Structure 1
Amino acid sequence: MYLNVHSQYSLRYGTMSIPKLIEEALSLGITQLVLTDINNSTGIMEFMRACHDKGIKPIGGIEFRRNKKLLYIGIAKNKEGMKELNDFLTEHNLEQKVLPDTAPDMEHAYVIYPFGYAEPLKIREYLGIHFEELSLLYQKDLSAIKDKLLALQPVFVADKLGYRLHEYLRGIDLNALLTMVEPDDKCRNTDMFLPPGELESRFNKYAFILDNTRNLMNTCVMDYPKGRVNLNRRTFTGKKEDDKALLYKLAMEGLVFRYGKNNRAALNKVKEELKVIDDLDFCAYFLITWDIIRYSMTKGYYHVGRGSGANSTVAYCLQITDVDPIELDLYFERFLNAQRTSPPDFDIDYSWDEREDVQDYIFKRYGKAHTALLGTMSTFKDRSVIREIGKVMGLPKAEIDSFTDRTLLTANQDHPTFKKIMAAYAMMADMPNQRSIHAGGVLISEEAITYYTALDLPPKGMPTVQWDMYEAEKIGFDKYDILSQRGIGHIKEAVRLVEENLQHKINIHDVKTFMKDPKLNARLQTGNTIGCFYIESPAMRQLLSKLRCENYLTLVAASSIIRPGVAQSGMMKTYIQSYHDPKNVKYLHPVMEKTLGDTFGVMVYQEDVIKICIHYAGMDGTDADILRRGMSGKYRSRTEFDKLIEKFFEGSKALGRPEEVTKEVWRQVSSFAGYSFSKAHSASFAVESYQSLFLKTYFPREFMVGVLNNYGGFYSRWLYVHELKKAGAEIHLPCVNHSLEVVSIKGMESYLGFIGIQGLETKFIALIPEERKRNGDYLGLEDFVKRTGIGLEQVIILIRVGALRFTHKSKKVLLWEVHSLLGAKTRPVQGAELFEVQAKHYELPELLNTQLEDAYHELELLGFPLSLSMFDLLQTSYRGDLCAADLNRQLGKTVKMLGQYVCEKTVHMKNNKKMWFGTFLDSAGNFFDTTHFPTTTPVYPFRGTGCYLILGKVVSDFGFPSVEVIRFAKLPIVGNPVMT
């Protein structure tokens, strides 16, 4: 008779997970209960599954609150009632309306108001009374409400310890000290399941209330189908047979487009796949994905299709992906097979500024009632939990910092406050903290989605379900991943610039030609790939150089072996060695040679691991698929992944595999957990990398402007400006008479845009070039101020960054004039003046700016100097004993170098120590890399951007030189002349 039970999904309020909640109910003999989390239905479907497994009757509901105030509780009579409750909450979430004091009429749901509600009750409305409120009924005439009274015993906690956790959660939610959390801000300490018979005892004088409660619950039946059912939109055309015919027609047309008219092998492959797709009822899934691609292509949008879907030749023929599965011998069964326990997966990437329009199309095409974005659930994790607990306990920041420092972990173990924090941490870790939005998952349902969840409206502005991808899959939804990435934006913008400025038409999708281009492959081999998608990071450039990568297939492998699973298992080094010396490869076992000959016995892709589990350990396809998902991190815990260990070893033993070999094979398999790519995924990335390589090789200036205008990539903005300069462009500071909002380029000349100037307001970033376009160049400072209505503070920023240098006056003169013109006031934009009144001008002494002053202005306002380099700002003229180009001639020697900091990477070692890898530019503008061991870096740490003097030993790994740092110091720069 518990009508008001809460789980952890009553965020920062409820304390029990759904399994814990049901375990508690079972232990007390409770046979039915209602889950009513606060303003959400996140846990309802999980709750029903768990109750059915344990033989408890589940009832769904929602507790509606406005701020801290309980308004009413909705309880579903059935599936339709749950939809009514979800629809009501959804309406208020999506329209951002506050919840009303009274609930609307609902045909299939009951509403319970807290005792004290004074309005007349309708037919399905009741009053809930807590046992502590029963005294209010004493000597009252109850005839009018006798049939409307229900026992309301909320459940938020399991016991006293749970109540203390609840107090911590409330403190965190309210950002308040524990002692400042008011009684109204938290539940009662009795809001829990009561021992058997106690609730009856509390209500013994009012047994009819318990009868009312029991009778109401008995009328509720959550008539949802049990087990996973297909809840996705079931057809594309309206009829399954028409879907099948349309998919066949499109696939055959695409077959001719991709392979020509006479490719028998491709025809057979497509027909085989079509049969599997139809047998497993995925025709609609393919057609809907094709429809999304068709729409985006009509809009001229670029896309990259990846994920396991790129294993499908049908997907290739439908232009969902540009990866040819036949050429790469991709494993279609990795994507779709009769034993597969999870839905297929298409990841479609768009440029960051085009994705939202594609999502908007999906909502309009398939209807808002049937379409929603996928949610996520962030949890309390790691040191952030300790910080939150420490704050509500009122601890000073320094003490909290000491508790989160890993190096002080042992020293703090016996500290009483630390023990208290860790006890709370143990209960709170991985508890749901807040709902958010998935990176790109979209659900398209057959029934209205509100049968299964209420919808939120996150900042993105599109309806979002209240549960995550794991729950979606268990309920029966397959997601469509509509993602965005900057790399596509780089390509799109570069192609546009080439076509507009050079009148040169590019077929950027002619990737097969790119792959055979010796110039592109030569660039790939040297690792000269700054700006190129996925292959520009220091680690990837090093790998390309070590492999001397010169073709697409090697790049596909490199895209996967750079992942932590391969790299940290030691197999990346093994792969490089074997790649250069394939005749001397030593295979762990003949099965490894037979199944992994192409990758020299190294498991590089998810498919490789699946093959080994099947062929080496004799596991079936279903277990292999579960393991694949474990590798992708697509499980809530490691439980299902760990269960496979026993099967793996038992199967290997039964097949007579040597025990020591089996241990090493499993070590390699398990190292992939959470990190490996499917081959199709790597192949998709490699296709995009080649598109970027093509543009960087033949149109380097336009390409780098494309990178800058899509907010860069792996590196800071200044490095892409440096690369633009290396490509031969003459780069100019922003100018009000030449610059656009973004970086522009014509011929060899490039102007930095107004975006990127620190402190410049968005309205002026757009207004300055727009006004110039409408009415011509600005004639001078006064003309600029009048036409834009810019204020003193904003125009000073533009003067200091050099954007008014067209006046041929020094910055100091311009600053004098603008103060005379505006003083502390902002002039509004005026209408056309009948008579132009000139401002008074005064004769000034000569006021000049130095290059050093300009460089400091640029450093402050752009984040980097353009007038001078960082090396020019150093107090010393020393530039090191050698440059990056000389390193291979100095192997084994201790050298002294000077480098401008580019980036660093911290790596946690197995012994809990850290080491660092650095990337620098020498004074000639070339890269070199450094290694910093745990013994040296604490003494000689990184100190942010700037130039460093580096003493170290030159080493080489597969021909790639780097410097192992012995000593290391950031060098001082000359002072700011304005400040001296």
Structure 2
Amino acid sequence: MYLNVHSQYSLRYGTMSIPALVAEAMARGITQMVLTDINNSTGIMEFMRECDEKGVKPIAGMEFRREKRLLYIGIAKNREGMKELNDFLSEHNLEQKALPDIAPEFSDAYIVYPYGHAAPLKKNEYLGIRFNELNRLYGNDLKEIKEKLLALQPVFVADKIEYRLHEYLRGIDLNVVLTEVTESDKCSPTDMFLSPGQLEAKFSRYAFILDNTRNLMNTCVMDYPKGRINLNRRTFTGNKKNDRELLEKLALSGMEYRYGKANKEALRKVKHELKVIYELDFCAYFLITWDIIRYSGSQGYYHVGRGSGANSIVAYCLKITDVDPIELNLYFERFLNAQRTSPPDFDIDYSWDEREDVQDYIFKRYGSQHTALLGTMSTFKDRSIIREIGKVMGLPKSEIDGFTDQTQAAVNQNNDTFRKIVAIHERMANMPNQRSIHAGGVLITEEPITYYTALDLPPKGMATVQWDMYEAEKIGFDKYDILSQRGIGHIKMAVKLVEENQQRKIDIHQVKTFMRDPAVNANLRIGNTKGCFYIESPAMIQLNRKLGCDNYLVLVAASSIIRPGVASSGMMGEYIKNHHHPDKVQYLHPVMEEQLKETYGVMVYQEDVIKICIHFAGMDGTDADILRRGMSGKYRSKKEFDRLVERFHEGAIKLGRPPAVVAEVWRQVSSFAGYSFSKAHSASFAVESYQSLFLKTYYPREFMVAVLNNYGGFYDRALYVQELQRSGGLVHLPCVNNSESLVNISGVDVYLGFAGIHGLTDIFIALIPEERRRNGTYQNLEDFIKRTGIGLEQAITLIRVGALRFTGKSKKELLWAIHLLLGAKGKPSNTAELFCLEAKNYSLPVLVNTRLENAYHELELLGFPLSMTMFELLQTDYRGEILANDLINHVGQRVKMVGLYVCEKTVHTKTNKRMWFGNFLDVEGNTFDTVHFPNSTPTYPFRGAGCYLILGKVVEEFGFASLEVLKFAKLPILPNPVIS
């Protein structure tokens, strides 16, 4: 009888999850109901699975609202009807047009209007009346509408307590305090499942309404296939036999390109993989991915194929990846096997400015009805919930800040308001908050995708499904991950700049040559890697220096060791120690030596977790992979996960493993598995790292310009500018006669771009260089003003940053002149003049700018000074007792250093106290690392950018020296002469 039921997917409105909703219905003896979430079908497939499992008949539908007003409810007769409803909503979402007052006439869906709807009803349309509206029927002639009346008992909440939660959700949604949530903003307090027999009793005088409702629901049958089936596009060519022949032809041709004609091992592996791919019906998946790569290559785009797909030699032969599975002894079954419970996918990275075109190609090539971006669902998170609840309660910001401050936890426990917030928080935590877009997932389907979801149009402008990757997997869709990253943009642009600036062409795909290059490997070993993909962070530099990493295979391991799991389990240190002393490795158990000898008994890759689960604990491959996925948050059933944890322990004990050893192996598995890479993924990252490092080693100036123009990487812009200077680049301030929108290089001269000037608008960032290209260099200030039409404020910004120094006048002279020219009228006319009149010259006193004034201008407008270093800006001449390169010679000693702040990282100790790692530059531009334990940093905190005086003890680990900080303080700089 319930044809208007809502779940939490009626965002910030409904309070029950799908399982809770079904359980609540069962407890009241309800045998069928319609899920009608507001303007979405996110939960429909989950609802059908849950109902089928619990023996309740599911009916799919949707409630259509415009703003807060209920327009009508759609109820699907079958899957065709659900497609009609999804298509209807999708059309309005994608075309961004409002829902109409009157629904169209659906062939396989019913429409229920709220009672009071005046327009004539079509054959498939009904009126829904609530029990508290039945008095409106009294005394009316019902002949015309008797067969059209249905019982409308909406369900939004489970009970009175959840109704209060609903009110808080509405306050959050409307961004108002609780007292401002009006009756029209929320549901009725009675909008819940009624006790058995109660609904019938309320409609007892109008039993025919209940009969109508029951009869309508009985006609609805959700004829969707049960269980997970393959819903992806099934063929590439339109014929499975042709797909198979094309894939084999491409794979064998690619094998010859990669390995030559006589590599028997490669041929054996290719044929084995092809057999598995055929049997598991994945030909189309490989061919579609190949097609995407083929298109992007034809456009000159560079890609990186990574993820578990790089385990496949067929993928390597199809140029989907550049990782050689034979060289690395990669495990194909980690990617694709008959027992694998989850669909595999390829992760394909493009430059940030090319990905959208690739996605556009996919949509056009495979059709808008069959292609969509994958959605994601953000949930209410701990701290954000507290803030949202506090705002709805009308609390002042200072009080809310106190409640979210972890250091005030003990005090807050005794606060009644805080306890109330916590009670609400416990009910709201992890509820869906809003739909968003997945980082890069694309679905390509066999049937129109609207059989399974309506489509949204997020800011990206491409149709997006209304559920996430977990739901996609359960329904039967495999995603194609089309991702973007800055690192590829660095490489692509650097190659182009080298060709333009040095007339040298680079084949950036000759990675195996780079891997053997002594100069490249020397930079890797000493940590000269700033700007290089994945190996530029202080933590990665430190790890590579501790390992003495100077080759590809060690870098592959390092790329996974750096992940949080290995570090937090203590196994990073164990790996480094064993790497330096492989003859002294003590294996925890013979199985560990047998399975993990390559990594000295340490689990480094996701495959290692699977191996240990299988060979140490006797689990099968399917359960081992589910366990690994569960640890990484990619498996949602906690009950199933707990069962597998138990199976691990039981299996290990059954095989006679000592309990203490089982406990330690499990500790390593559980702390590690969720934060590791597959070996193929690490190998893909390492390939890209070598490409970046090759460019940095031999073409450092062009490479750093590319890093700056692709919006940097791990560090602030200032550090990359300094790297440019260290590489011999003569870095100049922006100049209207030499700069482009982005940073440009000519020989060793590098001009900063207009895009880096704070406060300069986009129109002038583009216009200034474009006008110069069209009509030549600017001759003087007046010429510049007339040709660009620039206004006073923007002109002052350019003068202060030094961009008009070509005039030969000081900034102060230019500021005087610009006020004379524009001060009264603000903006000049750039219309053509009949006569060109010279501007009047005024006799001015000598006006000069000091280096200190210039440095302050640059700090304000660029974010860093170029005229002076930050060390030169200090009030003191003291530069510390020692420099970074001398640290290793003072191990165990207390020393004073002066360092320019680069970055910091906060971590939590085992006792949940915070500690910090810092990274600094000395006066020579060399980096050093600091460690700040909880007992010192709160007394001597970080205070942002600038130079610090640091007292610490020099410590060393695996030949890498750092500073354990005892005291440190930020040093004052010279005052701004303009202000003072």
Q: Which position in structure 2 is the counterpart of 1:682?
A: 682
Deviation of 1:738 after TM superposition, in Å, equals 0.3
Bigger CA drift: 637-646 or 694-703? 637-646
Matched, 1:590 2:590: yes
Structure-2-length-normalised TM-score: 0.99
Query: Do 1:701 and 1:728's aligned partners in 2 also have CA atoms closer than 8 Å?
Result: yes
Matched, 1:927 2:910: no
- Secondary structure of residue in 2 paired with 1:426: helix
Q: Which position in structure 2 is the counterpart of 1:810?
A: 810
Query: Do 2:788 and 2:830's aligned partners in 1 also have CA atoms closer than 8 Å?
Result: no
- Secondary structure of residue in 1 paired with 2:674: coil
Query: Do 1:918 and 1:929's aligned partners in 2 also have CA atoms closer than 8 Å?
Result: yes
Instruction: Find the aligned partners of 2:881 and 2:370 in 1 and give their Cα distance.
Output: 67
Amino acid at match of 1:329: N
Amino acid at match of 1:933: F
Deviation of 1:216 after TM superposition, in Å, equals 0.7
- Secondary structure of residue in 2 paired with 1:326: helix
Instruction: Find the aligned partners of 1:134 and 1:841 in 2 and give their Cα distance.
Output: 89
Query: Do 2:630 and 2:636's aligned partners in 1 also have CA atoms closer than 8 Å?
Result: no
The number of residues matched between the two structures is 980
1:456-855, aligned counterparts within 5 Å? 456-636=456-636, 638-827=638-827, 830-855=830-855
Bigger CA drift: 552-561 or 404-413? 404-413
Deviation of 1:186 after TM superposition, in Å, equals 0.3
Instruction: Find the aligned partners of 1:787 and 1:99 in 2 and give their Cα distance.
Output: 49
The C-alpha deviation readout for 1:364-384, integer Å capped at 9, x for no partner, is 000000000000000001111
Query: Do 1:791 and 1:825's aligned partners in 2 also have CA atoms closer than 8 Å?
Result: no
Instruction: Find the aligned partners of 1:206 and 1:777 in 2 and give their Cα distance.
Output: 87
Q: Which position in structure 2 is the counterpart of 1:116?
A: 116
Instruction: Find the aligned partners of 2:165 and 2:633 in 1 and give their Cα distance.
Output: 29
Amino acid at match of 2:176: A
The C-alpha deviation readout for 1:871-894, integer Å capped at 9, x for no partner, is 111111111111101111111110
- Aligned-residue Cα RMSD (Å) equals 0.9
Q: Which position in structure 2 is the counterpart of 1:913?
A: 913
Q: Which position in structure 2 is the counterpart of 1:98?
A: 98
- Secondary structure of residue in 1 paired with 2:36: strand
Deviation of 1:672 after TM superposition, in Å, equals 1.8
- Secondary structure of residue in 1 paired with 2:675: coil
Instruction: Find the aligned partners of 2:316 and 2:94 in 1 and give their Cα distance.
Output: 38
Amino acid at match of 2:675: Y
Q: Which position in structure 2 is the counterpart of 1:447?
A: 447
Instruction: Find the aligned partners of 2:711 and 2:484 in 1 and give their Cα distance.
Output: 13
Deviation of 1:386 after TM superposition, in Å, equals 0.7
Unpaired runs of 5+ residues, structure 1, are none
Instruction: Find the aligned partners of 1:837 and 1:477 in 2 and give their Cα distance.
Output: 71
Deviation of 1:840 after TM superposition, in Å, equals 2.5
Q: Which position in structure 1 is the counterpart of 2:864?
A: 864
The C-alpha deviation readout for 1:409-448, integer Å capped at 9, x for no partner, is 2222232111111110000000000000000000000000
Instruction: Find the aligned partners of 2:138 and 2:565 in 1 and give their Cα distance.
Output: 69
Instruction: Find the aligned partners of 1:215 and 1:813 in 2 and give their Cα distance.
Output: 88
Deviation of 1:406 after TM superposition, in Å, equals 1.5
Deviation of 1:787 after TM superposition, in Å, equals 0.7
- Secondary structure of residue in 1 paired with 2:450: helix
Deviation of 1:828 after TM superposition, in Å, equals 5.4
Q: Which position in structure 1 is the counterpart of 2:954?
A: 954
Q: Which position in structure 1 is the counterpart of 2:10?
A: 10
Amino acid at match of 1:843: S
- Secondary structure of residue in 1 paired with 2:625: helix
- Secondary structure of residue in 2 paired with 1:368: coil
Instruction: Find the aligned partners of 1:407 and 1:673 in 2 and give their Cα distance.
Output: 31
The C-alpha deviation readout for 1:490-515, integer Å capped at 9, x for no partner, is 00010000011111010000001111
Query: Do 2:609 and 2:673's aligned partners in 1 also have CA atoms closer than 8 Å?
Result: no
Query: Do 2:771 and 2:788's aligned partners in 1 also have CA atoms closer than 8 Å?
Result: yes
Q: Which position in structure 2 is the counterpart of 1:56?
A: 56
Q: Which position in structure 2 is the counterpart of 1:896?
A: 896
Instruction: Find the aligned partners of 2:263 and 2:438 in 1 and give their Cα distance.
Output: 41
Deviation of 1:829 after TM superposition, in Å, equals 5.2
Query: Do 1:633 and 1:673's aligned partners in 2 also have CA atoms closer than 8 Å?
Result: no
Alpha-carbon spacing, 1:638–1:916, altered in 2? closer, same or farther (3 Å) = farther
The C-alpha deviation readout for 1:586-624, integer Å capped at 9, x for no partner, is 000111101100000000000001011111111101101
The C-alpha deviation readout for 1:890-945, integer Å capped at 9, x for no partner, is 11110011000000000011101010000000011110110000000000000000
Instruction: Find the aligned partners of 1:828 and 1:634 in 2 and give their Cα distance.
Output: 60
- Secondary structure of residue in 1 paired with 2:633: coil
1:245-256, aligned counterparts within 5 Å? 245-256=245-256
Q: Which position in structure 2 is the counterpart of 1:151?
A: 151
Q: Which position in structure 1 is the counterpart of 2:83?
A: 83
Deviation of 1:824 after TM superposition, in Å, equals 4.9
Bigger CA drift: 633-642 or 912-921? 633-642
Instruction: Find the aligned partners of 1:408 and 1:421 in 2 and give their Cα distance.
Output: 15
- Secondary structure of residue in 2 paired with 1:484: strand
The C-alpha deviation readout for 1:126-185, integer Å capped at 9, x for no partner, is 111111111111101111111111111000000011001000100100111111100000
The C-alpha deviation readout for 1:328-352, integer Å capped at 9, x for no partner, is 0000010011111111110000000
Instruction: Find the aligned partners of 2:527 and 2:719 in 1 and give their Cα distance.
Output: 16
Q: Which position in structure 1 is the counterpart of 2:389?
A: 389
Identity percentage over the alignment? 76
Query: Do 1:788 and 1:829's aligned partners in 2 also have CA atoms closer than 8 Å?
Result: no
Instruction: Find the aligned partners of 2:279 and 2:132 in 1 and give their Cα distance.
Output: 60
Amino acid at match of 2:540: M
Instruction: Find the aligned partners of 2:120 and 2:783 in 1 and give their Cα distance.
Output: 70
Instruction: Find the aligned partners of 1:214 and 1:149 in 2 and give their Cα distance.
Output: 11
Matched, 1:279 2:275: no
Query: Do 1:310 and 1:680's aligned partners in 2 also have CA atoms closer than 8 Å?
Result: yes
Alpha-carbon spacing, 1:182–1:894, altered in 2? closer, same or farther (3 Å) = same
Instruction: Find the aligned partners of 1:871 and 1:190 in 2 and give their Cα distance.
Output: 69
Instruction: Find the aligned partners of 2:409 and 2:855 in 1 and give their Cα distance.
Output: 45
Q: Which position in structure 2 is the counterpart of 1:298?
A: 298
Amino acid at match of 1:613: C
Instruction: Find the aligned partners of 2:642 and 2:791 in 1 and give their Cα distance.
Output: 64
Unpaired runs of 5+ residues, structure 2, are none
Matched, 1:180 2:163: no
Amino acid at match of 2:564: P
Instruction: Find the aligned partners of 2:128 and 2:785 in 1 and give their Cα distance.
Output: 67
Amino acid at match of 1:695: L
Amino acid at match of 2:917: F
Query: Do 1:786 and 1:827's aligned partners in 2 also have CA atoms closer than 8 Å?
Result: no
Instruction: Find the aligned partners of 2:142 and 2:638 in 1 and give their Cα distance.
Output: 56
Query: Do 2:822 and 2:828's aligned partners in 1 also have CA atoms closer than 8 Å?
Result: no
The C-alpha deviation readout for 1:301-321, integer Å capped at 9, x for no partner, is 110000110000000000000
Query: Do 2:801 and 2:858's aligned partners in 1 also have CA atoms closer than 8 Å?
Result: yes
- Secondary structure of residue in 1 paired with 2:210: helix
Matched, 1:369 2:360: no
- Secondary structure of residue in 1 paired with 2:369: helix
Deviation of 1:835 after TM superposition, in Å, equals 1.4
Matched, 1:262 2:269: no
Query: Do 2:557 and 2:604's aligned partners in 1 also have CA atoms closer than 8 Å?
Result: yes
1:272-351, aligned counterparts within 5 Å? 272-351=272-351
Instruction: Find the aligned partners of 1:500 and 1:219 in 2 and give their Cα distance.
Output: 70
The C-alpha deviation readout for 1:58-95, integer Å capped at 9, x for no partner, is 01111111111111111111101000100010011001
Amino acid at match of 2:678: S
Instruction: Find the aligned partners of 1:645 and 1:128 in 2 and give their Cα distance.
Output: 50
Query: Do 1:606 and 1:631's aligned partners in 2 also have CA atoms closer than 8 Å?
Result: no
Instruction: Find the aligned partners of 2:498 and 2:631 in 1 and give their Cα distance.
Output: 41
Deviation of 1:658 after TM superposition, in Å, equals 1.0
Query: Do 1:305 and 1:321's aligned partners in 2 also have CA atoms closer than 8 Å?
Result: yes
Instruction: Find the aligned partners of 2:455 and 2:829 in 1 and give their Cα distance.
Output: 45
Q: Which position in structure 1 is the counterpart of 2:244?
A: 244
Deviation of 1:845 after TM superposition, in Å, equals 1.3
Bigger CA drift: 475-484 or 111-120? 111-120
Amino acid at match of 1:650: E
Deviation of 1:105 after TM superposition, in Å, equals 1.1
